[in-house]
C-alpha cells in the first residue's frame, strides 16, 4: 500500500505547529513535529473530526427573539448540518439562565446544547 505524507496544522494552541503525518491508507503510521496534545489532535482529526458549535434557537416570550447556544463538547463534524437543522426546530420558554440545557443529548451523541446567556421574560405593559 502506498505511503502518503500529509501536513496537518494543529489548532489546539496558538503556536499552530505543522505536523507531518505518514499514512498508509487510513492508518496513521507516524506523526512528526509538535507535542503529545498535537499528536492526539491529529488522531482525532483524521479519524473522528469534531468542532465546537455555536448557533441560536428561538425564544418564546422573551426580550430577545433568539438565544445564542453552544455545544457542551466538540461535535462530530459530519453531523453539524444535521444539528443546525435540529436547532431550527427548538423553541425555549423564558426565563432562561446562562448554561441552562436547551437540548439534551443532541442527535443521540451525548452532547448537550447550552444557553450562552440569560434571557428574561418580556415586560408586560398595560
Compare residues 6 and 91 and give the one whose CB is closer to ligand SF4.
6
Judged by beta carbon, residue 34 or residue 62, the one nearer ligand SF4 is: 34
* Three-state secondary structure call for residue 76: strand
Nearer to ligand SF4, 16 or 110 (CB): 16
Question: How far apart are CB 120 and ligand SF4 at their closest, in Å?
Answer: 40
**Bridge-partner residues for 54, per DSSP?**
70
Applying CB under 6 A, which residues contact ligand SF4?
Answer: 10, 12-13, 15-17, 34-35, 37-38
Least distance (Å) from ligand SF4 to the CB of residue 68?
A: 28
C-alpha cell at 25: 491508507
Q: Distance between CA 65 and CA 92 in Å, rounded?
A: 10
Instruction: Provide the grid cell at 43.
Output: 488522531
> In the complex, which residue's CB is closest to ligand SF4?
38
Amino acid at each position: 500500500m502506498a505511503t502518503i505524507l500529509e501536513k496537518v496544522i494543529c489548532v489546539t494552541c496558538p503556536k499552530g505547529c505543522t505536523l507531518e503525518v505518514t499514512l498508509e491508507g487510513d492508518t496513521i503510521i507516524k506523526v512528526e513535529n509538535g507535542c503529545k496534545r498535537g499528536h492526539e489532535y491529529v488522531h482525532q482529526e483524521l479519524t473522528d473530526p469534531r468542532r465546537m458549535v455555536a448557533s441560536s434557537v428561538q425564544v418564546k416570550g422573551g426580550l430577545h427573539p433568539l438565544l445564542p447556544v453552544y455545544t457542551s463538547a466538540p461535535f462530530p463534524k459530519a453531523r453539524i448540518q444535521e444539528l443546525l437543522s435540529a436547532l431550527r426546530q427548538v423553541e425555549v420558554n423564558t426565563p432562561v439562565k446562562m448554561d441552562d440545557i436547551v437540548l439534551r443529548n443532541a442527535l443521540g451523541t451525548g452532547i448537550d446544547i447550552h444557553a450562552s446567556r440569560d434571557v428574561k421574560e418580556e415586560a408586560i405593559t398595560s
